[in-house]
Amino acid sequence: MGETGAMSTELTAGVSTEVVDICSELIRIDTSNYGTNEGPGERKAAEYVAGLLDEVGIESTILESANSRASLVADWAPEGTDTTLPPLLVHGHLDVVPANAADWQVDPFAGEITDGCVWGRGAVDMKDFDAMVLDVVRARARAGAAPRRPIKLVFTADEEAGSQYGATWLVNEHRDLLEGCTEAIGEVGGFSLTIRDDLRLYLIQTAEKGMAWLNLFADGRAGHGSFRNDDNAVTELAAAVARIGQHKWPYKITSAQQAFLDAVSEALDIELNLDEVEQTLTRLGSISRMVGATMSNTANPTMLGGGYKHNVIPGQATASIDGRFVPGGREEFLATIKELLGDKVRYEFEQDNAAVETEFSGALVEAMQHCLAVEDPGAKAVPYLMSGGTDAKAWDKLGIRSFGFAPLRLPAELDFVGMFHGVDERVPTDSLEFGTRVLDRFLQQA
């Protein structure tokens, strides 16, 4: 092994000294995103990240799309970096979904470290990856160990509410800051799924469903609640919502989904039958819920509104739908929704974000597999389609190939998927340390 490889090995043994503390400190900065601009925003977290980078000589820029809605951008290409290569975009978001402290065993914003885990809102979504990236970059900067290619560090606002004040705003208003980037890594992927003691599948996100958040409106004839009314907006809306909620969406298997199913079939040494596939996937544990949601388009009613008094029939009733469609499935999704709504209910978009997909191939993918295998000989990287959405939707508008690669070797018994937006969110400290070692090797090879 040459000098570069030796340096990487030495660094890998020591990069995990800060990651737990950084993760805990980030959690203590409340960046709850309520879907409005009324929350605390991300400014304090962005300033904390800027301070950590400044300590090791990395300049950064904080940009605000609105009051306290802050994102941070930094370029890192120290001496020894091959600047003829395009920069790799390494991104994480700073906001988190809200948490009700009464439901938790611990204060969700205390960053408590107990039972071998860092607890708190954002521990897995996604201040864990933010901390891993900061740990690795700081350790390398101190040691004078350059990454192979330039790194574009971006920590965004507003990912949890559709990225309008974060990644999408950066793409629309400051796309020059992302010039040259062709590939990116971020959430949600790189975490392990234990099949047996000597085999763990590490799920690399190569695709994610599109988002169609719909507002439904039914108009009718207002009147007294004691009268008969054959044009009742509430009745029309309720029937449409029930049809949507009860609809059985047909399977629509994408290339990423098929590749994941093939990997599971091989790992379990069984032949997957689509008629029984979801039942079989329950053998994988909690991940089966996410996988099941990516077998087809989905639409879930989430909110209802209408009326203001028991004896008044309102002239309008409203509802909200969380719609998700697989890559290539948008038109079919909207056509089905229109049919289910009927003639008296209409919809408007609250959010309309495209599905994204890239191939599970190339030098970046090979580096992921190699770096995982060095730290875990039982590792096998496999692609998968994620049911939710990430900032990758914004980067896709610039033609950037995005991968979910936030590497974590997890205990087999941990309900990791259930931690996303869940109660008692936490991440094992040794998983964080594993992730920093993988990322350190990855920046040497990517």
Beta bridge partner(s), residue 320: 215, 303
Q: CB of 235 within 8 A of CB of 348?
A: no
pLDDT recorded at residue 415? 82
Instruction: Classify domain 213-248+296-353 at the CATH topology level.
Output: Alpha-Beta Plaits (3.30.70)
Rounded average pLDDT per 10-residue block, the chain, 446 residues = 38 67 98 92 98 98 97 97 98 97 96 96 96 97 96 97 95 97 95 92 95 97 95 97 97 90 85 76 73 91 96 97 96 98 97 93 96 97 92 96 97 83 93 96 94
Domain topology for 3-189+386-445: Aminopeptidase (3.40.630)
pTM over 0.95: no
Q: Is 57 left (phi over 0), alpha (psi -120 to 50) or beta?
A: left
What pLDDT, on a 0 to 100 scale, did the predictor assign at position 376?
A: 97
Per-residue pLDDT, 279: 76
Q: What's the pLDDT score for residue 1?
A: 33
Give the pLDDT of residue 16.
59
Q: Which residue ranges make up each domain of the chain? A: 3-189+386-445, 213-248+296-353
Q: Are the folds of 3-189+386-445 and 213-248+296-353 the same?
A: no
Q: Which residues contact 26 (CB under 8 A, 6 or more apart)?
A: 45, 48, 94, 111, 122, 127, 130, 131
Angle at 443 between CA 438 and CA 446, to 5 degrees: 105
Q: Residue 373: exposed, middle, or buried by beta-carbon count in 10 A (0-12, 13-18, 19+)?
A: middle
User: Looking at residue 388, what is its pLDDT?
Assistant: 86
Sign of the alpha-carbon dihedral angle for 368, 210, 357, 86 = negative
Could you tell me if 15 and 440 are in contact, meaning their C-beta atoms sit under 8 angstroms apart? yes
What are the residues facing 382 on neighbouring strands? 203
Compute the distance between CA of residue 217 and CA of residue 219 in angstroms, rounded to an integer.
7
**Whole-angstrom distance, CA of residue 186 vs CA of residue 203:** 13
- For residues 69 and 85, the answer to whether their CB atoms sit within 8 Å is no
Dihedral sign (CA 205, 29, 19, 117): negative
Q: What is the dihedral of CA 23, 24, 28, 32, to 10 degrees?
A: 40
Q: Quick one: pLDDT at residue 12? A: 52
pLDDT of residue 307: 95
pLDDT of 3: 35
